[in-house]
């Protein structure tokens, strides 16, 4: 094995997690390679330094606090259970489906009826209005004795 | 075999609630210390450890003998610790005092320590603990988890692979990278300490 491969396996070698033949091969290599030996030494040193961490040695009231928490949870759980216990499990999904279904039906009904009686002009009435405005009858004389006819007559008399 | 962890869990499953105490007494320190490696805070570690045992108690009716009990226990602990870290990161992100202390200060503090003397006082001992803790904390989550389980809980590569549901090869490679990162980060500290 080359140094590159050895270095990649040094971690597992240090942990003695390699098969026996690989362990022996690396051991042989380390006897003759100072660079790889140095790399192993550094890894091992770091491994030892890692022991310098804060450690909890005892936890005297751990069980007391845990049992208290467990009781609290059981009380909460049982109070919820007493509320929901009489209701069968399938009731919740069935109820949800029913609510959604009725919501959908009411939505469709309202959608169809809200605009049904509205006063929006129908397409035919718009067309009629356009015909009236733009037809040739727009240029006819005003009906006799209508306000417009009287007004036009007065204007023409003034001009004369 | 009579009082093995698996046996105790089966008794708990069958309704013998008293055995929970025995399970807790057996494993509380290893779970507490595992939580402490992730939280760096004794109170949070205790909260999380209690949560672990509550989960075990709640899961007891569904317990099946598949993997070893400790593997299962550590899987629950690691999952809870990772959730805790995620929540903490989100809270830190939205807090006004958002700082990545453990990440950006590690190298400065290592150099500071390396320039000093041997950790013969309590203060220096705590400083060193903090440096090591911060160096571990600065590792990516997947490397950190593997390193903690191996170094502090003495799990073999196979057990870690089972606990984290990854391959043994992945454990080996993550551990190699973790050690390499720590070697770089703690080089100056190592050279100052007699081993």
Residue A135 lies in a domain: no
Using an 8 Å CB-CB cutoff, list chain B residues near A62: 24, 28, 32, 46, 49-50
Whether A24 is in a domain gets the answer: yes
A29 within domain boundaries? yes
Q: Confirm whether A128 is domain-assigned.
A: no
Residue range(s) defining the domain that contains residue A11: 1-53
- Whether A49 maps to a domain, the answer reads yes
The complex's ipTM works out to 0.73
Chain A residues near residue B128 by CB distance under 8 angstroms: 52
Of A10, A46, A58, the CB nearest to B190: A46
- Note the pLDDT tens digit of each residue in A89-98: 788 889 999 9
Is residue A11 in a domain? yes
Return d(Cα A65, Cα A60) in angstroms, integer.
10
Asked, for residue A59, whether it belongs to a domain, the answer is no
pLDDT by 10s per residue, chain B, length 195: 556 888 899 998 888 888 999 999 999 999 999 999 999 889 999 999 999 999 999 988 888 887 789 999 999 999 999 999 888 888 887 776 555 544 445 555 555 555 555 555 777 778 888 888 889 989 999 999 999 999 999 999 999 999 999 999 999 999 999 999 999 888 877 776 654
- For an interface test with A, which of B22, B30, B59, B132 has the most A Cβ atoms less than 10 Å from its Cβ? B132
Looking at the structure of chain A, the number of domains it has is: 1
Q: For residue A77, what pLDDT is reported?
A: 67
- The residue behind tokens 């356009």 is A130
CA-nearest residue of chain B to A58?
Answer: B29
> Across residues A48-66, what is the average pLDDT?
87
A-chain residue closest to B193, CA distance: A49
Pairwise CA distance, residues B50 & B61, whole Å: 19
A17: in domain: yes
């Amino acid at each position: 094995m080359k140094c590159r491969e050895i270095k990649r396996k040094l971690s597992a070698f240090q942990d003695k997690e390699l098969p026996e033949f690989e362990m022996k091969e690396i051991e042989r290599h380390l006897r003759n390679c100072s660079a790889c030996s140095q790399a192993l030494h550094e890894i091992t040193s770091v491994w030892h330094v890692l022991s310098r961490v804060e450690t909890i040695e005892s936890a005297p009231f751990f069980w007391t606090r845990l049992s208290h928490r467990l009781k609290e949870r059981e009380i909460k759980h049982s109070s919820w259970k007493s509320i929901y216990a009489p209701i069968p499990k399938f009731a919740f999904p069935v109820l949800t489906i029913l609510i959604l279904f009725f919501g959908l039906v009411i939505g469709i009904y309202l959608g169809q009826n809200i605009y049904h009686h509205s006063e929006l002009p129908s397409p035919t009435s718009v067309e009629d209005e356009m015909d009236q405005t733009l037809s040739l009858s727009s240029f006819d004389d005003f009906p006799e004795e209508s306000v417009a006819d009287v007004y036009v007559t007065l204007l023409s008399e003034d001009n004369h | 075999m009579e009082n093995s962890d698996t046996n105790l869990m089966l008794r708990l499953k069958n309704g013998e609630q008293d055995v929970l105490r025995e399970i807790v007494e057996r494993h509380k320190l290893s779970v507490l210390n595992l939580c402490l490696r992730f939280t760096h805070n004794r109170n949070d570690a205790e909260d999380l450890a209690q949560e672990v045992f509550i989960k075990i108690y709640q899961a007891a009716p569904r317990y099946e003998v598949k993997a070893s009990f400790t593997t299962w226990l550590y899987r629950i602990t690691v999952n809870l610790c990772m959730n805790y870290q995620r929540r903490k990161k989100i809270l830190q992100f939205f807090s006004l005092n958002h700082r990545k202390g453990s990440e950006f200060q590690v190298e400065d503090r290592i150099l500071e320590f390396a320039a000093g003397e041997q950790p013969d006082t309590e203060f220096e001992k705590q400083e060193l603990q903090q440096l090591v803790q911060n160096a571990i904390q600065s590792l990516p989550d997947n490397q950190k988890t593997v390193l903690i389980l191996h170094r502090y809980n003495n799990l073999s590569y196979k057990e870690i692979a089972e606990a984290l549901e990854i391959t043994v090869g992945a454990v080996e490679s993550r551990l190699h990278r973790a050690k390499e990162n720590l070697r770089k980060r703690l080089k100056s500290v190592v050279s100052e300490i007699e081993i």
